[in-house]
Amino acid sequence: MPSVPTHRAAFGARVRELRTARGWSQEEFAHRADLDRTYVSGVERGVRNPTLDVINHLAKALGVDVMEFFSR
């Protein structure tokens, strides 16, 4: 088992994709999602294991449904 599970990496990559598509820096996104900048960084790299609550926060900040993180 790698230290960065594939499902986490995929999730993080999707978050990053949606964030950059909006032209936001990690810091601006973190502020909008009311989360720490370094934590968002960790989530996007797949090293962090976010909770359901955080996942919902991220979705809300991005203005998307949670489904978007797992589609495609």
Partner DNA sequence: TTGTGACTCCGAGTCCGTG
Partner DNA sequence: CCACGGACTCGGAGTCACA
Residues 13-32 contacting a second copy, CB under 8 A: none
Which does residue 11 bind out of a second copy, DNA, none, counting CB within 5 to 8 angstroms by kind? a second copy
- Residue 26 binding target from DNA, a second copy, none, CB below 5 to 8 Å by type: DNA
- Of the pair 54, 66, the CB lying nearest DNA is at 54
Q: Does 53 help bind DNA (rule: CB under 7 A)?
A: yes
Question: Which phi and psi (to 5°) does residue 34 adopt?
Answer: 60, 45
- Helices 37-45, 26-33: axis angle to 10 degrees equals 110
Measured CA to CA, the distance from residue 68 to residue 55 in angstroms comes to 11
- Residue 49's SS3 state is coil
Q: Which residues bind DNA (CB under 7 A)?
A: 20, 25-28, 34-39, 41-42, 44-45, 47-51, 53-54
